């Protein structure tokens, strides 16, 4: 069944093409899940950055974004921006992860993301996690590819601020980028919050959802 039972959320898979994708796109949601469910299992797979300082950043960041959780992080060494040429390795990594876990929720890039690495990873998700609820997170960028999401996770003021603080603290390699700042992260969260009748929110895109409306 492609759905989510609030009374059964024990395992989460988080997927990213690059170190920091997961935290930018779903960091607030991970904080919400992990603070509310101590002992939650989070399996994270990142396609690029392995063996570099960015891997160290990612491991420290995901540990901070998943307080109290049982976190396992795998960071591969696929070259940034060259996903199509390394499709088989990425596919094999996802299939290996699927053999090791049966998640209740998958957090991944959205399928219409303008970045080819994000988009390529997103298109692998339904071929690997066929019967799982997959929420596609968004990452603001110069491409101007923000769309109309259909799923929202409201964030308290404290959680929104904590997300930004952790992003700034753990990803020192990204601080020089013109878009990597407090205004960008909180600005998007504020817009999504308005859409969700909240102060702040993270937004997601879902391709398929199965309902069970039996009493």
> Is residue 214 situated within a structural domain?
no
Q: What is the mean pLDDT of residues 98-117?
A: 95
Q: Name residue 73's beta-bridge partners.
A: 44
Q: What is the pTM of this model?
A: 0.95
Mean pLDDT of the chain: 93
Q: What tokens appear for 158 in the block?
A: 């404290």
* Total domains, the chain: 1
Residue 164: inside a domain? yes
Residue 208: what pLDDT?
A: 86
Residue 86 has pLDDT above 80, yes or no: yes
For residues 57 and 170, the answer to whether their CB atoms sit within 8 Å is yes
**Rounded Cα–Cα distance for residues 215 and 21 (Å):** 39
Q: What is the pLDDT of residue 209?
A: 86
Both tokens of residue 27? 């960091």
> Could you tell me if residue 116 is inside a domain?
yes
**Token pair for residue 195?**
């859409």
Interatomic CA distance for residues 193 and 191, integer angstroms: 5
pLDDT tens for each residue of 191-205: 999 999 999 999 999
Six-digit token string for 61: 């960041």
Residues 24-70 have pLDDT tens digits of 999 999 999 999 999 999 999 999 999 999 999 999 999 999 999 99
Is 188 inside a domain boundary? yes
Report yes or no on 213 lying in a domain.
no
Domain assignment present for 30: yes
Residue 172 phi, psi dihedral angles, 5° rounding: -60, -30
State mean pLDDT over 117-146: 94
* % of the chain beyond a pLDDT of 70: 96
User: Strand, helix or coil at 5?
Assistant: strand
pLDDT tens-digit map of 158-177:
999 999 999 999 999 999 99
The end-to-end CA distance of the chain, in Å, is 17
Task: Give mean pLDDT, residues 182-189.
Answer: 97
Model confidence at 133: pLDDT above 80: yes
Domain of residue 62, CATH code:
3.40.50.10320
So what's the pLDDT on residue 90? Answer: 93
Q: Dihedral sign, CA of 137, 132, 94, 86?
A: negative
Would you give the DSSP letter of residue 127? H
- Tell me the torsion sign for CA atoms 12, 15, 18, 20: negative
User: Residue 90 belongs to what domain range?
Assistant: 9-204
The answer to whether residue 209 is domain-embedded is no
For residue 215, being part of any structural domain is answered with: no
What are the pLDDT digits (tens) for 15-24?
Answer: 999 999 999 9
């Amino acid at each position: 069944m492609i759905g989510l039972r609030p009374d059964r959320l024990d395992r989460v898979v988080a997927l990213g093409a690059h170190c920091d994708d997961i935290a930018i796109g779903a960091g607030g949601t991970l904080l919400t899940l992990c603070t509310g469910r101590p002992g939650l299992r989070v399996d994270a797979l990142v396609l690029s950055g392995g063996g570099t300082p960015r891997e160290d950043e990612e491991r420290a960041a995901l540990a901070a974004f998943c307080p109290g959780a049982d976190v396992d992080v795998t960071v591969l060494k696929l070259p940034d921006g060259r996903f199509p040429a390394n499709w088989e390795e990425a596919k094999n990594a996802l299939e290996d992860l699927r053999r090791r876990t049966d998640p209740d929720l998958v957090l991944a890039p959205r399928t219409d993301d303008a970045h080819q690495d994000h988009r390529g990873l997103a298109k692998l998700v339904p071929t690997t996690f066929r019967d799982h609820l997959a929420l596609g997170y968004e990452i603001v960028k110069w491409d101007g590819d923000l769309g109309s999401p259909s799923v929202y996770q409201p964030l308290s003021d404290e959680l929104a601020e904590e997300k930004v603080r952790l992003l700034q603290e753990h990803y020192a390699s990204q601080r020089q980028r013109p878009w990597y700042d407090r205004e960008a992260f909180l600005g998007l969260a504020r817009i999504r919050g308005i859409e969700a009748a909240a102060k702040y929110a993270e937004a997601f895109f879902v391709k398929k959802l199965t309902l069970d409306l039996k009493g």
